[in-house]
């Protein structure tokens, strides 16, 4: 017997450390100049960045917790915290978007003249930091948690770009209404990208089949195995944002060799990326005169 313990968490610890460190320094800088110049755009962006840094801290902590070995009452370990944090991250992005919209509405109603050159310099620094941090998470988006971190930083880069463009337009036209209009546009982009993350996270929390797996294809494959007459009690769910589990009953009246089940386990992993497989073999379905389990 054996489990296919192929826990392939990519090591994003360095990316999280760099991203959190750089963005914390930038938030301090942005908030200082936001108060100094009375710029609502810089202050709103600083608040948005703060929520995203908090999200990065949560995501990093969740990945660390997920690597802890199962013990005591937590027989699967704490891997599912990665799903919970991806859900929380998506909610934080939506909440931050609400603050951006609120600020934009106020700026349309009461436009304020601000030193555009200072805004452009600060926004340029933020754009470089946020875009660079987002790129560090570009390759890990198969993991919802890493995808959440990427969306946080991409959203920050988008908002900072809007501030930069708004500063440039205000510098040459004094059209202070441009900045809130760009904010509306970017919030739409943010919400569009975040909605999918929110939906995926909720589905995984309630143990839905991960979207990259077609459970009908899995069942069809199991039914094509030699001597398997039927498949029932098939369940597929996410253990974490990167690991998937499967349990199923296979009806094999003629009996089987252990190697058959090892081959099935390996095939499920290679074809469907299912990392934890538990199979119960029955000679007769219903009477249950004989059954054995394979993990």
CB burial class (10 A; 0-12, 13-18, 19+) of residue 1? exposed
Of 179 and 201, the structure prediction assigns the larger pLDDT to 201
Q: Could you give the CA distance from residue 57 to residue 62 in angstroms, rounded to a whole number?
A: 9
Rg, Å, the chain Cα set = 25
3: pLDDT strictly greater than 70? no
Contact by Cβ (8 Å): 93, 151: yes
Q: Could you give the CA distance from residue 101 to residue 43 in angstroms, rounded to a whole number?
A: 13
* Collapsed DSSP state (helix, strand, coil) of residue 111: coil
Q: Rounded to 5 degrees, what are φ and ψ at 241?
A: -75, -10
Residue 119 Ramachandran class (φ > 0 left, ψ -120 to 50 alpha, else beta): alpha
Q: Could you give the CA distance from residue 196 to residue 94 in angstroms, rounded to a whole number?
A: 12
Average pLDDT over residues 94-123: 82
Q: Could you give the CA distance from residue 69 to residue 60 in angstroms, rounded to a whole number?
A: 17
User: What pLDDT does residue 153 have?
Assistant: 86
Give the pair of three-digit tokens for residue 146: 């890493």
User: What pLDDT does residue 62 have?
Assistant: 73
User: What pLDDT does residue 239 have?
Assistant: 85
Of 44 and 30, the structure prediction assigns the larger pLDDT to 30
1: pLDDT strictly greater than 50? no
290: pLDDT strictly greater than 60? no
Average pLDDT over residues 160-177: 84
At the topology level, CATH places domain 13-205 in: Alpha-lytic protease prodomain-like (1.20.1510)
Contact by Cβ (8 Å): 20, 130: no
* Collapsed DSSP state (helix, strand, coil) of residue 69: coil
Of 241 and 9, the structure prediction assigns the larger pLDDT to 241
| Closest among 192, 193, 179 to 43, alpha carbons compared | 179
At the topology level, CATH places domain 215-294 in: Alpha-Beta Plaits (3.30.70)
Of 3 and 206, the structure prediction assigns the larger pLDDT to 206
Q: Could you give the CA distance from residue 158 to residue 45 in angstroms, rounded to a whole number?
A: 10
Average pLDDT over residues 218-238: 89
Which range, of 55-69, 169-183, 217-231, averages the lowest pLDDT?
55-69
Average pLDDT over residues 7-32: 80
pTM of the model: 0.71
pLDDT band at 97 (very low <50, low <70, confident <90, very high): confident
293: pLDDT strictly greater than 60? no
Contact by Cβ (8 Å): 253, 284: yes
283: pLDDT strictly greater than 70? yes
Contact by Cβ (8 Å): 60, 20: yes
Query: What does the buried/exposed string (b/e) look like for 243-279 if buried means 16 or more CB atoms within 10 Å of the residue's CB?
Result: bbbbbbbbbbeeebeeebbeebbeebbeebbbbbbeb
In the chain, CATH 1.20.1510.10 sits at 13-205
Number of CB atoms found within 10 A of residue 99's CB? 14
Q: Could you give the CA distance from residue 184 to residue 166 in angstroms, rounded to a whole number?
A: 12
In the chain, CATH 3.30.70.1350 sits at 215-294
pLDDT band at 2 (very low <50, low <70, confident <90, very high): very low
Which range, of 91-95, 237-241, 280-284, 290-294, averages the lowest pLDDT?
290-294
Q: Which range in 4-18, 53-67, 279-293 is most confidently predicted, on average pLDDT?
A: 53-67
User: What pLDDT does residue 242 have?
Assistant: 75
Of 207 and 112, the structure prediction assigns the larger pLDDT to 207
User: What pLDDT does residue 287 have?
Assistant: 54
């Amino acid at each position: 017997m054996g489990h296919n313990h192929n826990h392939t968490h990519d090591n994003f610890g360095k990316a999280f450390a760099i991203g959190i460190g750089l963005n914390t320094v930038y938030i301090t800088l942005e908030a200082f100049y936001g108060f100094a110049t009375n710029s609502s755009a810089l202050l709103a962006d600083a608040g948005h960045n703060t929520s995203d840094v908090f999200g990065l801290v949560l995501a990093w902590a969740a990945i660390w917790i997920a690597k802890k070995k199962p013990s005591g009452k937590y027989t699967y370990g704490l891997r599912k915290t990665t799903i919970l944090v991806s859900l929380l991250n998506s909610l934080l992005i939506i909440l931050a978007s609400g603050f951006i919209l609120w600020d934009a509405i106020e700026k349309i109603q009461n436009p304020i003249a601000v030193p555009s050159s200072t805004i452009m310099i600060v926004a340029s620094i933020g754009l470089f930091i946020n875009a660079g941090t987002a790129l560090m998470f570009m390759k890990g988006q198969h993991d919802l948690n890493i995808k959440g971190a990427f969306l946080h930083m991409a959203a920050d880069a988008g908002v900072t770009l809007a501030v930069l463009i708004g500063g440039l337009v205000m510098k040459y036209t004094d059209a202070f209404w441009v900045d809130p209009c760009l904010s509306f546009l970017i919030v739409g982009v943010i919400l569009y990208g975040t909605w999918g993350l929110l939906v995926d996270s909720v589905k995984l929390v309630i143990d839905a089949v991960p979207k990259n797996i077609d459970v009908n294809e899995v069942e069809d494959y199991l039914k094509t195995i030699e001597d398997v007459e039927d498949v029932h009690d098939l369940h597929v769910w996410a253990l974490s944002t990167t690991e998937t589990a499967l349990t199923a009953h296979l009806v094999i009246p003629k009996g089987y060799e252990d190697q058959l089940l090892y081959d099935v386990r390996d095939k499920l992993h290679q074809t469907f990326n299912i990392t934890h497989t538990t199979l119960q073999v029955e000679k007769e379905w219903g009477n249950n005169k004989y059954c054995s389990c394979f993990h």
